[in-house]
Structure 1
Amino acid sequence: MTLKIVYGTIVLCAVWSTIALAEQSKVIDLNEENWRSILDKEWMIEFYAPWCPACKNLAPAWRKLGEWSNDIDIRTAQIDVTTSPALSGRFLVAALPTIFHVINGEFRQYRGPGDADSFITFIEERKWKDIDPVSAWKHPDSVQMTIMSYFFKLSHYLKEVNNVMLIDYGMPPWLTYVLFAIVTILLGALLGLILVSIIDLIFPSQSSRQSFAQGQAPSTDEDARDVIEDDDATSAAVAANDDDDDDDEEEDEAPSTSEGEKFSGSESDASNEDDKDVQQTDVKKSPNSEPEVRKRKPRKAD
C-alpha cells in the first residue's frame, strides 16, 4: 500500500512537471502591449498572418522550436500582423513569414532554412554573430520607428473603415475611393503646412530676414547718429585747439608790427619837420613874392 502511494506521488509530480515544462516551452504570442519584453534576454520571433500559406507550412517547425526553447535557453514568440499592424511597421516587415533573432536588445533578421534543426543549430552554434544587427535608425524601439508604427496602424484602421463602408453601408467602391482621395488630399495639405511652418521656423526665408533687419534698423540709425555726433564733437575740439594756436601766433607777431609802425611814424615826422624849415626859409628870402608851391614827389614806400 505504501509503495502504491509513493508510486502515485511520483507519477503525479512527473505529470505536473511535464505540464509546467510544456507551459514554459510554448510559443509566446506578442502584441503591441507586451512586445517590449523581447528587449531582454534571447528570443526568436516570427511575424505571420493566418491567411499566409508559407506561414502555415512553417508552423510545425516553429512549434518544435518552442518545445526546445528551455534546452537551448531561448524564448520563442510569434506576432500576428493582422492584429498588431503597428509592430509590422516597427520592424519594417515586407514579407511573410519574417523571423528575427533578438539578444539583449540587438535585432538580426534570420534568412536561413525554415526547419526546426536549422533554428536550433543557429542558436547553439551562435551563427547569429555572423549577421550584422539592425542599424540604430531602424531599431524597433527608436523614435522614427515608433512614428512608422503609427502610420501602419492608421493604414490598418483605414482598411477597416473601407470594409465597413463597403459591407455594412453598401457604398459603391468608386465612392469610397473618392472619399479617401479627398481625405488624403486634406491630410496631405495639413501635414505639408505643418512641415513648411517647421522648416520656415528653423530656416527663415530671405523676406523674414529682411523684415527682421528692418526691425533692427532704427537702433542701427541711432548708433550711427551717436557715432556722427561723437565725430563732430571731436572735430570741434580739434578746431578749437587750432584757433587757440592761431591766436597765440598773432599775439607773438603783434609787438614786432607795432615797433615797425613806430619806426615808420618817426621817419615821417622828421621829414615833415624838414619840409617846414625849408618853407620858412623861402618866405624869408622873398617876403613880397608869392610863395611858390613846391611840388613834392611822392615818396616810395620803404
Structure 2
Amino acid sequence: MSHLFLILTLLLAVSLSSSEVVELTSKTFGAVNKEGDWLLKFYAPWCGHCKRLEPTYNEVSERLKDSKTKVGKIDGSSERSLAAIFSITGFPSLFYVAPDGQTVYKYKGSRTAEALVGYVQDGYKSDEALSFWSGPFGIVGQCKWFLLWLGSFMFTLHEYLDKTLGMGPVPAGIFCVVGGMFVTAAAVVGMTVATAPDLKRD
C-alpha cells in the first residue's frame, strides 16, 4: 500500500511540474530564444491585476502542458533590464515569442484562458509582430539591455574599488568611466561588424 501511495505521489509531482509556469530571470532568459515558442507574462508582486490574472495564467499553462509552447513569467519590478528591452509600461503585460525565437507579438486580446490558448496556437498569425530592429531581440532592445547591465556592473565595480580595495571614490569613478567608455566602444564595434551586410565581389 505504501508503495502505491509513493507511486501516486510521484506521478502527481510530475504532472504538476510539467504544467508549472516557469519563473524567468535575466540569468535564465536565454532559454526563451533557444527553446521554441513562449508565452510570457510580465508582472509585479504588488499589482492587483496581476494577482487576478494568476489563476487564469496557471490554467493556460495546464492546458498547454502537452504542447511545445512553454509558459513563463517575469517579475518586471525586479528584472528591470528585461522589462526595458520589452518596453514594459504597465503590468501585467503579455507577449508571445514565436517558434523561431526572434519574432515577438504583444498580446492585446481578452485575458481569458480560452483566448490566450487560442492566440498561441493560431491567433498570433493574424496579428502584427513587433518590429525586429526595435523589438526585444533587435539592436535597440539589446542596446537597452547592455546599457542597463553596464550601469549596474559599473556601480558594483565602483563599490568594490572604493570600499574593498581602498582606491577612493574619485579614482574609482575615473577608472569606471574610462573602463565603461572602452567597453561601450568595443560593443559598438562588435554590433556594427555583426550587423554589417556581407558584400560579395563578382
Q: Matched residues in 2 for 1:89 and 1:153: separation? A: 11
User: Higher helix proportion, which one?
Assistant: 1
Determine which of 17, 31, 36 is the counterpart of 1:37: 31
CA-CA distance at 1:122 after TM superposition: 2.1
Residues 1:128 and 2:124 aligned together: yes
C-alpha contact (below 8 Å) 1:52/1:96 kept by paired residues: yes
Counterpart of 1:55 in structure 2 is: 50
Corresponding letter in the other structure for 2:78:
T
CA-CA distance at 1:18 after TM superposition: 2.1
What do you get for the CA RMSD once the two structures are aligned? 3.1
- Per the alignment, do residues 10 and 103 of structure 1 end up closer, same or farther by CA in structure 2, a change over 3 Å counting? farther
CA-CA distance at 1:46 after TM superposition: 0.1
Determine which of 77, 84, 87 is the counterpart of 1:82: 77
Corresponding letter in the other structure for 2:137:
D
Q: 3-state DSSP class of the match of 1:88?
A: helix
Counterpart of 1:15 in structure 2 is: 9
In the alignment, structure 2 segments of 5+ residues that lack a partner are: 154-176, 185-202
Determine which of 2, 22, 27 is the counterpart of 2:21: 27
Q: Matched residues in 1 for 2:107 and 2:152: separation? A: 26
Report the structure number with the largest CA radius of gyration.
1
Q: Matched residues in 2 for 1:135 and 1:27: separation? A: 27
CA-CA distance at 1:43 after TM superposition: 1.0
Q: Matched residues in 2 for 1:123 and 1:133: separation? A: 13
C-alpha contact (below 8 Å) 1:85/1:153 kept by paired residues: no
C-alpha contact (below 8 Å) 1:90/1:146 kept by paired residues: yes
How many correspondences in the alignment? 158
**Cα distance per residue 1:170-204 (max 9 Å; x no partner):** xxxxxxxxxxxxxxxxx9xxx9xx9xxxxxxxxxx
Counterpart of 2:116 in structure 1 is: 119
Counterpart of 1:98 in structure 2 is: 93
Corresponding letter in the other structure for 1:71:
D
Q: Matched residues in 1 for 2:30 and 2:5: separation? A: 38
Corresponding letter in the other structure for 2:111:
G
C-alpha contact (below 8 Å) 1:25/1:67 kept by paired residues: yes
- Normalising by structure 1, we get a TM-score of 0.46
C-alpha contact (below 8 Å) 1:101/1:110 kept by paired residues: yes
C-alpha contact (below 8 Å) 2:40/2:71 kept by paired residues: yes
C-alpha contact (below 8 Å) 1:32/1:84 kept by paired residues: yes
Residues 1:64 and 2:62 aligned together: no
* Highest RCO, 1 vs 2 (Cα 8 Å, sep ≥ 6): 2
CA-CA distance at 1:155 after TM superposition: 8.4
131-140 or 74-83, larger mean C-alpha shift: 131-140
CA-CA distance at 1:142 after TM superposition: 2.7
**Cα distance per residue 1:214-238 (max 9 Å; x no partner):** xxxxxxxxxxxxxxxxxxxxxxxxx
Counterpart of 1:110 in structure 2 is: 107
Identical pairs, percent: 22
C-alpha contact (below 8 Å) 1:88/1:152 kept by paired residues: no
**Cα distance per residue 1:234-254 (max 9 Å; x no partner):** xxxxxxxxxxxxxxxxxxxxx
Residues 1:147 and 2:114 aligned together: no
Q: 3-state DSSP class of the match of 1:21?
A: helix
Q: 3-state DSSP class of the match of 1:47?
A: strand
In the TM superposition, structure 1's runs of 4+ consecutive aligned residues that sit over 6 Å from their partners are 154-157
- Per the alignment, do residues 96 and 156 of structure 1 end up closer, same or farther by CA in structure 2, a change over 3 Å counting? farther
Matches within 5 A, 1:259-270: none
